[in-house]
Structure 1
Amino acid sequence: MAPRVLVSDKLSPTAVQIFKDRGVEVDYLPDLGKDKEQLLAVIDQYDGLAIRSATKVTEKLIEAATKLKVIGRAGIGVDNVDIPAASRKGIIVMNTPFGNSITTAEHAVALMFAVARQLPAADASTQAGKWEKNRFMGVEITGKTLGVIGCGNIGSIVASRGVGLKMRVVAFDPFLSTERASQLGIEKVELEELFKRSDFITLHTPMTEKTKGIIDKNAIAQMKDGVRIINCARGGLIVEADLAEGIKSGKVAGAGVDVFEVEPATESVLFGLENVVCTPHLGASTTEAQENVALQVAEQMADYLVRGAVTNAINMPSITAEEAPTLTPFVKLAEVLGDFVGQVTDEPIKSVEIVYDGATAAMNTRALTSAALAGLIKSQVSDVNMVSAPIMVKERGIQLTESRRDKSGVFDGYIKLTITTEKQTRSVAGTVFSDGKPRFIQIKGINLDAEVGRHMVYTTNNDAPGIIGLLGTTFGEAGVNIANFQLGRNRPGGDAIALLYVDSPVSDAVLDAVRGHKEIASAKRLQFDVASVD
């Protein structure tokens, strides 16, 4: 059955056609996002939800979305989506962070010019029949210092435009490298220095606990007298009341504000102030940007629903369409390894260590780790997948360690997963053969080669004569056919393991019979999702 997508906000007709061309059924209901109750009533029919800013994806809506696999936001902001709720439900949330970058950057530069030359007020005055040439004395941009807070995708474009305007550009961004700053022709500085040196300050950082209110009265007190502030990012980055006071006092010479603490902003402490230019969140409002983000979100959602490719996901590692064929078998392997450990471990897990050896070290290990964690806890939490697993593991206080290393054995690449509990440490390793199917290659440090089946039995025992006969006889008498039987031991007469792939589930009575043998330490019934191994 073809996946089905609901478009609940206004998107380009071309975007709707992209869904259809990719084999995705689509219902285009652009006004439905405004009707919370009606949207709630129909959301369980859809695999995907494409939105802009009008649709509010609440926890209540997510709980009702029983089939939903992906939410696509045409634009960069996902403030209208409850991402933690979506992640817990295993729903991927995508955005289009690059579709409106140029447009937003250009709007910031436009506001900077408007504030520097008081253009809106001068226009209103002139059109009112006045000729107040002396009233609107502006300042030049050339030679001034531009402070860019947040030098990511949009911020770096603004920075490059500032360099092109012959401005001195300084930037604060914890993730900006010295090399990248050099490439852009700008200077990386700390936030306090940026405040002290900048004639113009422009914000291009996401809203987080650390950045909320990043410009407040204390920050403004550190700035130059006559500073001009531009915000095309998020309203909450600036404490509006503090900015208003700064403008009234003359400390701040002007501000260009496209985003507000509360939107729609029908009233604000900034309205009516001298040399404050306000626009109604127009950063992404160009014909080109609206078309770009609509097409991108349609392509991303269709790629995921049809091909399994994950692009620009907020809550899951990206998997490109190109790497998916190579990566997918190892994603299945990682899930199987985690599932094995989860099924054979009864006590609470304190820590998990995942080692990527050889070829696997060069793969998308974030996706592999997410799959391994999903397998690890699926025996405890039935409704878990690659999106929700990392969150659930973190919530349970399980410590995660990942490492990569060069090829260290006979296999081109393998994954090893080790868990630690209060009582023991347990490990399992596996690889993928040329047939694309996962194989166990080591359990408890004991080498073996075992394929994965839907129904399996795992035993630990002393390396003693008669174990093979015991297992064969016991299973045979119970009418359980053994499809594959693999053994391993650490040394003659030492610890040994057996992994049996059987055609049907093994009953408790059969397991009890096996456990009753004096040489058998433990026997576990295992079951793997056949979709993960076929």
Structure 2
Amino acid sequence: MPKVLISDKMDPRAAQIFRERGVEVDEITGKTKEELIAIIGDYDGLAIRSATKVTKDVIAAAKNLKVIGRAGIGVDNVDIPAASAAGIVVMNTPFGNSITTAEHAIALMFALARQLPEADASTQAGKWEKNRFMGVELTNKVLGLIGAGNIGSIVADRAIGLRMKVVAYDPFLTPERAIELGVEKVSLDDLLARADFITLHTPLTDSTRNILSAENLAKTKKGVRIVNCARGGLIDEEALKAGLDSKHIAGAALDVFVKEPAEASPLFGTPNFISTPHLGASTTEAQVNVAIQVAEQMADFLMTGGVTNALNMPSLSAEEAPKIKPYMALAERLGSLVGQLAHDNLTKIAIEVEGAAADLNIKPITGAVLAGLMRVYSDTVNMVNAPFLAKERGLDVREVRHDREGDYHTLIRVSVQTSQGERSVAGTLFSNSSPRLVEIFGIKVEADLAGRMLYIVNEDAPGFIGRLGTTLGEAGINIGTFHLGRRDAGGEAVLLLSVDQPVDAALPKIKSLPGVKTVRALDFA
């Protein structure tokens, strides 16, 4: 009989579900790292919340451990690479607290609109400052959603019920899905210019970090009110304070901060600023939901091999895995490349396989492409839930098999439909194991996709490579590999460079080089 340890306080229904499904369970909470290491070897599964730290040392001692289940979204307390290396599946419950988080965002909107915290403090201090607290109605105001996924769509539904007009910025939001939600799909600049209230519902990634920067906050409508219950780091906190001090921003409410616990912040004490200590998931119902879900998922895995919401494992049979895993690695990198280069207004994606790849189960390949594509925007996406997330957002996914013989013995092509037209990348396997890019946006170029990279589109002209090398050298950036492709001599060329250091600081100088059309830092970590 499989045996599970629940090491953090969890709703008792979790243990009940394990026992009902035929899994032995122990509830032992509050253990130190050393105490956990001493007992973890006896268990097949470990169910945790945020208190237990599953480090390399814990994993090394967990000789029988097969699955770690996190009741909640964040898995910062789990060493996922170490777990993967040990063959341990890591699961979370990314949708168990969606309603709770959405309701918290709505609550903070009301609190901002009516200055409730300040009015409460004033009244309890014996004052009766009725004229001081003049609020605004939510009815007929424009709500701007940055992110219209699971939580964002719930906020939209509640806001529409309050008779608000909802506009949304989300690269994955299709026109059809926008109509279904009852929102208007807009650009980020349009949202900033029109919104009376802005709420954020996106994970923290390279593309969303400081999405409300000083520059973008300056584009907002005067008197805007801003709510963030998603991730710290989406808003430049110094710039937000400046906007509040200048009265350009009428109010802001943060449940999340760049540094947590937020024991100090430049925003604390600022008029019209509300803060809560990361309470988005803190309701009785949400805690029950995630406890039930993690128990169900772990029990299914231990008893039947079923995999749900795994962060480090695709849905694969034991027979398929050795043959298809190299293809999945290639597919994920192609999806990541598309996501990093052509992420605006994606509406359709096609995954095409030919040659040897056409004889394989295409579903894991599709899942890997979608995971790579959407990992640019979501820190909870994986090969299991990526197809679900794509469907939820209205992304039209097509799978195509070709019997034809091409230039390569096996090929995967990923094509996306963007506002600029179709963009596609293609890759193959060398020696049936090594992923290799062979085409990018119609230009033949062979390159490994790994680590830090620099993507440049430029006019093919003498001297450019020398100028680029000098610029990178002056910035202290070492080039690892160099790959060049072009349509025609003197026409448009594509450069893919692997680099040993971050290139963000050097991007402005590279962009200013004569003939450069596009520059993008890539990361395939």
Q: TM-score range by the shorter chain?
A: 0.5 to 0.7
- Give the TM-score taking structure 2 as reference length: 0.63
Task: Give 1:479-494 correspondences, 5 Å limit.
Answer: none
Name the residue aligned to 1:57.
54
Q: 2:322 aligns with which of 328, 335, 352?
A: 335
Instruction: Please tell me the residue identity of whatever aligns with 2:39.
Output: V
SS class of match (1:62): helix
Name the residue aligned to 1:245.
242
SS class of match (2:319): helix
Task: Give 1:410-429 correspondences, 5 Å limit.
Answer: 420-421=430-431
* Alpha-carbon shift at residue 103 of structure 1 (Å): 0.9
Name the residue aligned to 1:427.
none
Q: 2:264 aligns with which of 261, 264, 267?
A: 267
* Alpha-carbon shift at residue 234 of structure 1 (Å): 1.1
Task: Give 1:103-114 correspondences, 5 Å limit.
Answer: 103-114=100-111
SS class of match (1:332): coil
Name the residue aligned to 2:17.
18
Q: Which moved more, 1:305-314 or 1:242-251?
A: 242-251
Q: Which moved more, 1:92-101 or 1:236-245?
A: 236-245
Name the larger-Rg structure.
1
Task: Say whether residues 1:203 and 2:200 are aligned partners.
Answer: yes
Q: Give the aligned length.
A: 362
User: For the residues of structure 2 that align with 1:135 and 1:92, how far apart are their CA atoms?
Assistant: 55
User: For the residues of structure 2 that align with 1:185 and 1:227, how far apart are their CA atoms?
Assistant: 22
List alignment gaps of at least 5 residues for structure 1: 320-326, 340-350, 370-385, 388-401, 409-414, 425-534
Q: 1:307 aligns with which of 304, 314, 332?
A: 304
User: For the residues of structure 2 that align with 1:290 and 1:53, how far apart are their CA atoms?
Assistant: 12
User: For the residues of structure 2 that align with 1:227 and 1:27, how far apart are their CA atoms?
Assistant: 50
- State the Cα deviation string for residues 73-93 of structure 1 (Å, max 9, x = none): 111222322333333333222
Name the residue aligned to 1:82.
79
User: For the residues of structure 1 that align with 2:183 and 2:33, how far apart are their CA atoms?
Assistant: 47
Q: Is the 8 A contact 2:146 2:198 kept in 1?
A: yes
Instruction: Please tell me the residue identity of whatever aligns with 2:22.
Output: G
* Alpha-carbon shift at residue 67 of structure 1 (Å): 2.7
Structure 1 residues 20 and 138: alpha-carbon distance in aligned structure 2, compared to 1, 3 A threshold: same
Q: Which moved more, 1:80-89 or 1:159-168?
A: 80-89
User: For the residues of structure 2 that align with 1:201 and 1:285, how far apart are their CA atoms?
Assistant: 22
SS class of match (1:93): strand
Task: Say whether residues 1:158 and 2:128 are aligned partners.
Answer: no
Task: Say whether residues 1:405 and 2:366 are aligned partners.
Answer: no
Structure 1 residues 58 and 48: alpha-carbon distance in aligned structure 2, compared to 1, 3 A threshold: same
Name the residue aligned to 1:8.
7
User: For the residues of structure 2 that align with 1:334 and 1:77, how far apart are their CA atoms?
Assistant: 27
* Alpha-carbon shift at residue 364 of structure 1 (Å): 5.2
- State the Cα deviation string for residues 131-153 of structure 1 (Å, max 9, x = none): 10111111111111111111110
User: For the residues of structure 2 that align with 1:116 and 1:354, how far apart are their CA atoms?
Assistant: 60
Structure 1 residues 50 and 143: alpha-carbon distance in aligned structure 2, compared to 1, 3 A threshold: same
User: For the residues of structure 2 that align with 1:65 and 1:353, how far apart are their CA atoms?
Assistant: 42
Structure 1 residues 170 and 128: alpha-carbon distance in aligned structure 2, compared to 1, 3 A threshold: same
Structure 1 residues 243 and 58: alpha-carbon distance in aligned structure 2, compared to 1, 3 A threshold: farther
* Alpha-carbon shift at residue 337 of structure 1 (Å): 7.9
Instruction: Please tell me the residue identity of whatever aligns with 1:405.
Output: R
Instruction: Please tell me the residue identity of whatever aligns with 1:335.
Output: P
* Alpha-carbon shift at residue 65 of structure 1 (Å): 2.9
SS class of match (1:314): coil
Q: Is the 8 A contact 1:216 1:238 kept in 2?
A: yes
User: For the residues of structure 2 that align with 1:297 and 1:337, how far apart are their CA atoms?
Assistant: 28
User: For the residues of structure 2 that align with 1:136 and 1:142, how far apart are their CA atoms?
Assistant: 18
- State the Cα deviation string for residues 248-285 of structure 1 (Å, max 9, x = none): 22121111111122222222222211111111111111
- Give the TM-score taking structure 1 as reference length: 0.62
Structure 1 residues 353 and 237: alpha-carbon distance in aligned structure 2, compared to 1, 3 A threshold: farther
* Alpha-carbon shift at residue 312 of structure 1 (Å): 1.3
Name the residue aligned to 1:30.
29
User: For the residues of structure 1 that align with 2:294 and 2:90, how far apart are their CA atoms?
Assistant: 11
Instruction: Please tell me the residue identity of whatever aligns with 2:108.
Output: L
- The root-mean-square deviation of aligned C-alpha atoms, in Å, is 3.3
* Alpha-carbon shift at residue 333 of structure 1 (Å): 4.3
* Alpha-carbon shift at residue 72 of structure 1 (Å): 1.0
- State the Cα deviation string for residues 411-430 of structure 1 (Å, max 9, x = none): xxxx99995339x9xxxxxx
Q: Is the 8 A contact 2:354 2:403 kept in 1?
A: no
User: For the residues of structure 2 that align with 1:352 and 1:141, how far apart are their CA atoms?
Assistant: 54
Name the residue aligned to 2:357.
355
Name the residue aligned to 1:235.
232
Runs of 4+ in 1 over 6 A off after TM superposition: 336-339, 415-418
